[in-house]
């Protein structure tokens, strides 16, 4: 594409366009918006993990002073929703239009919504709804759920299997025969709560054109719109979704929370209806990161070449799919890491249980898989008495190397450069002419405190995988006379806090040759824009950037032809991907990837088991930096979020019930926990199909961190930790088993 309009808007540290309003508090989030005469909505949730709802008596609630209406399953025209497939009732109970819609399958199922004059009245009345249940057998362990005869959650999914992916590559017997060293691992990972700043909230009303309108925070306005009009059986144009500011998402807002019930109440009552979830409701009633169990075995030659890998991955999907089949699809690909593995045998399952549903969360199955893959590579390095950086240099995928799914990665494969840059920039390794050597680390004077360094790397797709339709629209309008005075950009893509809108403005300014002050962005409103797809999969800068560039090129052509205003719309479609072959996994799963490596330093207190993350060096090939400050912010945010995941965040679920739904009992990192330094090593090897070479980067720095921390703990203590979270009790127990840190008696 032509470079003639380049005016250096790419790569600068433009302050975020939304910064001032957010800092001053003027920017409204959904919970801040009120409409005169609004009613309040509260949800009555399930009391059972698995039961048939025999009857619902709403008479006491309806008689409660100030209650306007109570809605149940019989009031939903098409009582189902779901992002990938619609397996969840909006409201569970008798009179449902959906087969099986009278069954609750987890404690987050909704039974009724109460609409009242005040929030207090709605809350009180929700407790007055009397629900009669007939218990059904429960299953909370995904391995138990796979057994024949286990209670079945959805009759169309035998053995509770949502998806089973297989990779069959090469000849396993030959692979194991070549292996001089074999390491086996059993890894388990826990839930993670998104813990975004703003709990779910929203407002439903009928707009001036008679559309049922929902103001809410999400990741994809057009998808929310689709799920609402499907459930209410309305034509698409009768439903409008608007996002004001979004207070964080991280995948946790990909699925519906308050959208459909707000639309239902506003539509039925033709009045504005508002709701705000408490923090407790937010933690209890939106999905989590998947707990996974990964059993795996890798073999390598004496020289350090990986020759075989096998793995079984089981992901607990909870009671509904959400995006589980896609998340486990990613884990299936990433559980062997960014390595050349000639012989591979993988089985990956997403399994229904009566637990809280699990779904998208930054990294989308990658972090769990990388914890196992990087754990295996680091154990191989130990067994081979090789440096962990050197083992990776021997095995990483290069341009043209075949992945486990039998195809090469798309052009622009840079994991080797990323690994080497990370090691070199970390100061923990001495780069030689053709090898890297660990430098020695100064230990603290206190013998109870031991420092160690760990290394891990990873890769992550950009955009949707496995043949899922992928596209993004943008519209550009050029206004003015002789000169372009204003550029109006229409692009729906959500700014969930990552800074996408600032990047859109910079890319539009660059593409049209104006300064960023002349760019006006219309966004996050289904009535103003065509779909951009979701703010997820590290995709928006890449996808919408390509759409903006395409629209700008067409608009500039019209401008030259003297059209005023010059207006053009463009849909970007990336190269096609394909699903896994059901028998072998052979596929072209993705059209682009980002590559990342991390070196970390930890200090382990062997008496208390507390692990302090001292320093993180993150090398990330982002293709092209649009805004350096925002990219650094994504690196630091992902590192700290992954630190919480690896070391602190311990969501406890018993028989499907989350026991610590509070930020006082579910601990996330604060300023006293975070590393002293996060060094961002940003590399710019262009993505051949990216706008200005952009790859996408927001998830990548999350992927390898837990594996790097586990390696650093091992470096400090000699003990491998194979589960997440690596909380002090886990560390102490593992150390004591190795006779380390025992209190003298
Ligand atoms: Mo994200 S986990 O791709 O919303």
Inter-axis angle of helices 324-334 and 366-384, to 10 degrees? 20
* Ligand 1 geometric centre to CA of 544 (Å): 16
**In this model, does residue 4 exceed pLDDT 70?**
no
What is the predicted pLDDT for the residue at 2?
44
Mutation choice for ligand 1 from 223, 251, 368, CB with most ligand atoms inside 8 A: 251
**In this model, does residue 13 exceed pLDDT 70?**
yes
What is the predicted pLDDT for the residue at 500?
98
What is the predicted pLDDT for the residue at 7?
78
pLDDT tens sequence across 368-391: 999 999 999 999 999 999 999 999
Mean pLDDT of 35-40: 98
**In this model, does residue 132 exceed pLDDT 80?**
yes
pLDDT tens sequence across 636-687: 999 999 999 999 999 999 999 999 999 999 999 999 999 999 999 999 999 9
The tokens for 412 are 């622009």
The number of the ligand 1 atom at minimal distance from the alpha carbon of 250 is 4
Q: How many CA atoms lie within 13 A of 615 on its CB side?
A: 14
Mutation choice for ligand 1 from 220, 537, 593, CB with most ligand atoms inside 8 A: 537
Measuring CA to CA, which residue among 508, 509, 581 is closest to residue 546?
508
* Ligand 1 geometric centre to CA of 363 (Å): 7
Helix (H) or strand (E) holding 567: strand 566-572
Q: In the chain, where are the structural domains located?
A: 19-28+471-572, 33-136+194-285, 292-464+582-737
* Ligand 1 geometric centre to CA of 339 (Å): 24
pLDDT tens sequence across 205-214: 999 999 999 9
pLDDT tens sequence across 389-437: 999 999 999 999 999 999 999 999 999 999 999 999 999 999 998 999 9
pLDDT tens sequence across 192-202: 999 999 999 99
The number of the ligand 1 atom at minimal distance from the alpha carbon of 362 is 2
Q: Are 719 and 606 in contact (CB under 8 A)?
A: no
Give the Cα separation of 272 and 265 in Å (integer).
Answer: 8
What is the predicted pLDDT for the residue at 6?
65
Q: Looking at the domain 19-28+471-572, which fold is it?
A: Aldehyde Oxidoreductase; domain 4 (3.30.365)
Q: Looking at the domain 33-136+194-285, which fold is it?
A: Aldehyde Oxidoreductase; domain 3 (3.90.1170)
HEC string of 153-191 equals CCCCCHHHEEEEEEEEECCHHHHHHHCCEEEEEEEECCC
Residue ranges lining ligand 1, Cβ < 6 Å: 219, 251, 254, 360-362, 364, 536-537
* Ligand 1 geometric centre to CA of 614 (Å): 28
pLDDT tens sequence across 64-77: 999 999 999 999 99
The tokens for 498 are 């990552």
pLDDT tens sequence across 597-612: 999 999 999 999 999 9
The number of the ligand 1 atom at minimal distance from the alpha carbon of 538 is 3
pLDDT tens sequence across 500-518: 999 999 999 999 999 999 9
What is the predicted pLDDT for the residue at 80?
98
**In this model, does residue 694 exceed pLDDT 60?**
yes
Would you place residue 159 in the very low, low, confident or very high pLDDT band (cuts 50, 70, 90)?
very high
Give the Cα separation of 376 and 382 in Å (integer).
Answer: 10
Q: Are 134 and 335 in contact (CB under 8 A)?
A: no
pLDDT tens sequence across 234-262: 999 999 999 999 999 999 999 999 999 99
CATH class of 292-464+582-737: alpha beta
What is the predicted pLDDT for the residue at 96?
98
The label of the residue with tokens 């809350």 reads: 123
* Ligand 1 geometric centre to CA of 251 (Å): 4
Give the Cα separation of 670 and 672 in Å (integer).
Answer: 5
Measuring CA to CA, which residue among 473, 481, 707, 483 is closest to residue 598?
707
* Ligand 1 geometric centre to CA of 634 (Å): 14
The number of the ligand 1 atom at minimal distance from the alpha carbon of 363 is 2
What is the predicted pLDDT for the residue at 5?
55
* Ligand 1 geometric centre to CA of 726 (Å): 24
The number of the ligand 1 atom at minimal distance from the alpha carbon of 539 is 3
* Ligand 1 geometric centre to CA of 701 (Å): 14
**Average pLDDT over all residues of the chain:** 97
The number of the ligand 1 atom at minimal distance from the alpha carbon of 323 is 2
Give the Cα separation of 224 and 254 in Å (integer).
Answer: 9
Task: Let me know if the fold of 19-28+471-572 is the same as that of 33-136+194-285.
Answer: no
């Amino acid at each position: 594409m032509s470079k003639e309009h380049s005016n250096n808007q790419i790569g600068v540290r433009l302050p975020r366009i939304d910064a001032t309003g957010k800092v001053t508090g003027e920017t409204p989030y959904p919970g801040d918006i009120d409409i005169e005469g609004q009613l309040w909505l509260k949800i009555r949730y399930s009391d059972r993990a698995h039961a048939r709802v025999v009857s619902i008596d709403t008479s006491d609630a309806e008689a409660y002073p100030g209650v306007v209406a109570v809605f149940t399953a019989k009031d939903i025209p098409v009582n189902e929703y779901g992002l990938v497939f619609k397996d969840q009732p909006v409201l569970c109970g008798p009179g449902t239009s959906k087969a099986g819609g009278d069954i609750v399958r987890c404690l987050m199922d909704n039974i009724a919504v109460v609409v009242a004059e005040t929030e207090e009245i709605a809350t009180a009345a929700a407790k007055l709804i009397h629900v009669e249940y007939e218990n059904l057998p429960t299953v909370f362990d995904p391995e138990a759920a796979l057994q024949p005869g286990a209670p079945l959650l959805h009759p169309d999914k035998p053995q509770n299997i949502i998806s089973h992916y297989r990779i069959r590559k090469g000849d396993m017997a030959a692979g194991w025969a070549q292996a001089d060293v074999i390491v086996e691992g059993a890894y388990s990972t826990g839930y993670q709560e998104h813990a975004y700043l703003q709990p779910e909230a929203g407002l439903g009303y009928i707009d001036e054109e008679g559309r049922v309108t929902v103001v809410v925070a999400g990741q994809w306005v057009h998808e929310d719109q689709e799920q609402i009009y499907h459930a209410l059986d309305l034509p698409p144009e009768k439903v409008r979704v608007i996002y004001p500011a979004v207070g964080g998402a991280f995948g946790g807002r990909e699925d519906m929370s308050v959208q459909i019930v707000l639309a239902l109440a506003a539509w039925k009552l033709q009045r504005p209806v508002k709701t705000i979830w408490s923090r407790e409701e937010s933690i209890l009633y939106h999905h989590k990161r998947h707990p996974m169990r990964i059993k795996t075995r890798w073999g390598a030659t004496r020289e350090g070449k990986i020759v075989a890998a096998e793995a079984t991955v089981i992901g607990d999907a909870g009671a509904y799919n959400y995006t589980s089949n896609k998340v486990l699809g990613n884990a299936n690909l990433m559980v062997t890491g960014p390595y050349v593995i000639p012989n591979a045998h993988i089985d990956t399952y997403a399994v229904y249980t009566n637990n809280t549903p699990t779904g998208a969360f930054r990294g989308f199955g990658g972090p769990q898989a990388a914890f196992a893959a990087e754990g295996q590579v680091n154990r191989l390095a130990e067994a081979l008495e090789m440096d962990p950086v050197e083992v990776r240099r021997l095995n990483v995928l290069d341009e043209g190397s075949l992945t486990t799914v039998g195809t090469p990665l798309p052009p622009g494969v840079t994991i080797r450069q990323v690994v080497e840059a990370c090691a070199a920039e970390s100061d923990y390794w001495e780069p030689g002419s053709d090898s890297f050597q660990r430098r020695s680390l100064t230990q603290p004077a206190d013998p109870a405190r031991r420092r160690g360094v760990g290394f891990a790397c990873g890769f992550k797709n950009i955009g949707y995988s496995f043949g899922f339709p992928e596209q993004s629209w943008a519209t550009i309008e050029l206004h003015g006379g002789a000169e372009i005075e204003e550029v109006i950009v229409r692009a729906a893509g959500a700014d969930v806090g990552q800074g996408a809108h600032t990047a859109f403005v910079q890319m539009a300014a660059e593409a049209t040759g104006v300064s960023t002050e002349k760019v006006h962005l219309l966004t996050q409103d289904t009535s103003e824009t065509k779909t951009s797809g979701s703010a997820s999969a590290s995709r928006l800068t890449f996808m919408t950037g390509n759409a903006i560039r395409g629209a700008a090129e067409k608009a500039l052509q019209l401008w030259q032809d003297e059209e005023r205003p010059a207006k053009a719309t463009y849909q970007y479609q990336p190269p096609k991907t394909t699903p896994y072959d059901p028998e072998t996994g052979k596929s072209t799963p993705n059209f682009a990837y980002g590559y990342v490596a991390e070196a970390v330093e930890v200090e382990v207190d062997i008496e208390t088991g507390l692990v302090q993350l001292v320093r993180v060096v993150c090398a990330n090939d982002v293709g092209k930096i649009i805004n350096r400050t925002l990219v650094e912010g994504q690196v630091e945010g992902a590192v700290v979020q992954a630190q919480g995941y690896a070391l602190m965040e311990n969501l406890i679920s018993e028989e499907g019930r989350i026991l610590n739904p509070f930020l006082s009992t579910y601990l996330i990192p604060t300023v006293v926990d975070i590393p002293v330094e996060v060094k961002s090593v940003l590399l710019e090897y262009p993505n051949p199909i990216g706008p200005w070479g952009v790859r996408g980067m927001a998830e990548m720095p999350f992927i390898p961190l837990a594996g790097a921390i586990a390696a650093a703990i091992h470096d400090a203590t000699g003990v491998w930790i194979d589960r997440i979270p690596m909380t002090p009790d886990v560390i102490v127990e593992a150390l004591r088993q190795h006779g380390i840190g025992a209190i003298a008696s």
